[in-house]
């Protein structure tokens, strides 16, 4: 049966728009409500209890919009606070487990890299899941936190010297350890995958969490029979609308984000 309720997507900021982009690509008829907690970003530098509190707030807000499924488009929440979804009345998709499965399928030499924020790396979620399913794998973890502001400032064009130097630094260990597969463990990182690919070489597979989460979303909606055959509207909410919101959001989503379709909410009063 058809279900025209929207899909809810949330992230600590705007990086989750890269996941939203992949969901739109795969499910063009679905309505989407996106919440970016831009007033409390970044989550990656916060402690576990704070991250869990924020995740619960974000989920509560999306439920107030009568969503039929929630996607945590945030590597930090997926790694530290996915247990907040245990009591949700709707299905929940996080971005880590599906990307791990894709990496395991892709690797030929069982040497897998994880490029993520500090909190995600510290959680060890990627590594533990990989080793659980592929015990003889070698997992190389690198914190690439500086890539987040680089992306948000729009320094993603081919050959940008700031991006090029950062990518060179962050991929050095992967090259030394001969990894053949890298999980892009932060939602900002697909925007710089071309630069990473150029540095690592064509024989290295990059795993985009947005793509794997979008596939999992589609499969879950099909399984439950709750696809929307006639929607396609998108609404954006943020907890703080900064001066560069439209610019950053448009870069991450890959299409123009009209400020009239963006609403600021007080997440503490939901």
Q: pLDDT tens digits for 92-135?
A: 999 999 999 999 999 999 999 999 988 889 889 999 999 999 99
| pLDDT greater than 70 at residue 243 | no
Contacts 24+ apart (CB under 8 A), 203-207: 204/174, 204/179, 204/180, 205/103, 205/106, 205/107, 205/180, 205/181, 206/181, 206/182, 207/99, 207/102, 207/103, 207/106, 207/181, 207/182, 207/183
CATH number of 97-209: 3.40.50.1860
Q: Which of 73, 142, 179, 186 is catalytic?
A: 186
| pLDDT greater than 90 at residue 7 | yes
Same fold, 7-94+211-269 and 97-209: yes
Task: Give the count of beta carbons closer than 10 Å to the beta carbon of residue 65.
Answer: 14
Q: pLDDT tens digits for 184-229?
A: 998 889 989 999 999 999 999 999 999 999 999 999 999 999 999 9
Q: What top-level class would CATH report for the domain 7-94+211-269?
A: alpha beta
What pLDDT was estimated at residue 246? 79
Q: pLDDT tens digits for 14-70?
A: 889 999 999 999 999 999 999 999 999 888 778 899 999 999 999 999 999 999 999
What pLDDT was estimated at residue 118? 85
Domain ranges of the chain: 7-94+211-269, 97-209
Instruction: Tell me, yes or no, if 193 is annotated catalytic.
Output: no
What pLDDT was estimated at residue 256? 84
Q: Which of 74, 115, 137, 213 is catalytic?
A: 74
């Amino acid at each position: 049966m058809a279900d025209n309720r929207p899909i809810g997507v949330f992230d600590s900021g705007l990086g989750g728009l890269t996941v939203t982009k992949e969901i739109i690509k795969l499910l063009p008829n679905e309505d989407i409500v996106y919440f970016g907690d831009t007033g409390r970003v970044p989550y990656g530098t916060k402690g576990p209890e704070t991250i869990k509190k924020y995740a619960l707030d974000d989920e509560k807000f999306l439920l107030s919009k009568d969503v039929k499924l929630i996607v945590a488009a945030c590597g930090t929440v997926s790694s530290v606070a996915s247990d907040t979804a245990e009591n949700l009345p709707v299905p929940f998709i996080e971005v880590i487990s599906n990307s791990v499965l894709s990496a395991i399928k892709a690797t030929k030499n069982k040497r897998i890299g994880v490029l993520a924020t500090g909190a995600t790396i510290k959680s060890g979620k990627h590594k533990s899941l990989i080793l659980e399913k592929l015990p003889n794998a070698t997992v190389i973890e690198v914190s690439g936190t500086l890539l987040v502001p680089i992306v948000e400032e729009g320094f993603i064009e081919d050959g940008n010297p700031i991006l090029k130097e950062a990518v060179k630094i962050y991929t050095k260990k992967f090259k030394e350890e001969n990894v053949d597969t890298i999980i892009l463990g932060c939602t900002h990182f697909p925007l710089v995958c071309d630069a990473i690919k150029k540095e690592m070489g064509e024989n290295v597979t990059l795993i985009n969490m947005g793509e794997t989460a979008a596939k999992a979303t589609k499969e879950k909606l099909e399984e439950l029979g709750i696809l929307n055959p006639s929607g396609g509207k998108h609404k954006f909410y943020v907890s703080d609308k900064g001066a560069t919101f439209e610019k950053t959001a448009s870069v991450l989503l890959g299409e123009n984000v009209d400020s009239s379709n963006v609403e600021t909410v007080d997440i503490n009063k939901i």
